[in-house]
Amino acid sequence: MKRKLDHSDAASERLAVDVLGWLAADEDRLFRFVAASGLAPGTLRESMHDPSFLGAVLDHVMGDEPSLLACAEALGVKPERIASAWQRLQPPPFDEGG
Express each pLDDT in 45-93 by its tens digit.
888 888 889 999 999 999 999 999 999 999 999 999 999 999 999 877 7
Q: How confident is the model at residue 39 (pLDDT cuts 50, 70, 90)?
A: confident
Question: pLDDT category, 6, cuts 50, 70, 90?
Answer: low
Taking only the tens place, the pLDDT of each residue in 12-33 is 999 999 999 999 999 999 999 9
Segments making up each domain of the chain, as ranges:
7-88
Q: Can you say whether the dihedral through the CA atoms of 60, 13, 79, 28 is positive or negative?
A: positive
56 against 40, higher pLDDT = 56
pLDDT at 96 > cutoff 70: no
**HEC letters along the chain:** CCCCCCHHHHHHHHHHHHHHHHHHCCHHHHHHHHHHHCCCHHHHHHHCCCHHHHHHHHHHHHCCHHHHHHHHHHHCCCHHHHHHHHHHCCCCCCCCCC
Q: What is the pLDDT of residue 1?
A: 38
Rounded Cα–Cα distance for residues 48 and 16 (Å): 9
Region of residue 4 (phi > 0: left; psi between -120 and 50: alpha; otherwise: beta): beta
